[in-house]
């Protein structure tokens, strides 16, 4: 499956109202970043990284919560249920390719990876950001996504998604911190 296919499969089309909200929040963030930069509260790199992080999170929330059609309230409270199902499928069929759960799990890990990568650049001048900051940020963002899905009846609330999203954010933060360290040495 290529990137384009993933995008059209998992990213629904936005309504005009959703576009207005998205662009309004983004415009407000740009204005705030400009003011903070002019008052020398943040650097140019921090303002750009902050806007990119907000832009990415708006896209994530849009695709995972707000553009979905309301259904019924669904939840799966057993941790690692998806991996148990994948392993059971492998035992029964001797292969992984028949289950979409593995792809879903991997995409959930990748989903907050870019957000984690941006965290060190947003907070880079305020001290060292560590991998566990990325984990906590991932838990918070993923908890918000899953909570909204449960409250608004727009998806399955599950701990597996929170675990996978948080691990991806943590990995992104660790790699982003390493990149920032190399970037600052130059």
What pLDDT does 143 receive? 96
Strand partners, 98: none
Q: Which residues contact 48 (CB under 8 A, 6 or more apart)?
A: 33, 121
Q: What is the pTM of this model?
A: 0.85
- For residue 118, pLDDT over 60 is answered with yes
Helix ranges, 39-124 (H) = 44-61, 81-93, 101-111, 113-122
Sequence-separated (6 or more) residues with CB below 8 Å from residue 165: 108, 109, 111, 112, 138, 141, 142, 145
Quick check: 156 and 78 in contact, CB under 8 A?
A: no
Q: Say what the pLDDT of residue 13 is.
A: 75
Position 75 scores a pLDDT of: 82
For residue 93, pLDDT over 90 is answered with no
């Amino acid at each position: 499956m290529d990137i384009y296919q993933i995008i059209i499969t998992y990213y629904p089309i936005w309504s005009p109202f959703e576009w207005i909200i998205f662009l309004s929040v983004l415009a407000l963030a740009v204005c705030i970043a400009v003011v903070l930069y002019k008052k020398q509260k943040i650097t140019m790199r921090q303002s750009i990284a902050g806007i990119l992080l907000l832009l990415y999170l708006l896209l994530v929330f849009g695709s995972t919560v707000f553009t979905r059609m309301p259904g019924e309230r669904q939840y799966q409270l057993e941790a690692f249920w998806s991996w148990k199902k994948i392993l059971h499928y492998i035992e029964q069929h001797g292969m992984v390719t028949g289950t979409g759960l593995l792809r879903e799990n991997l995409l959930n890990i990748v989903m907050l990876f870019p957000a984690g990568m941006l965290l060190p650049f947003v907070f880079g001048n305020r001290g060292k950001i560590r991998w566990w900051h990325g984990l906590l940020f991932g838990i918070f963002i993923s908890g918000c996504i899953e909570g909204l899905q449960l409250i608004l009846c727009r998806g399955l609330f599950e701990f597996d998604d929170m675990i996978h999203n948080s691990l991806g954010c943590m990995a992104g933060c660790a790699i982003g911190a390493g990149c920032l360290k190399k970037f600052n040495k130059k």
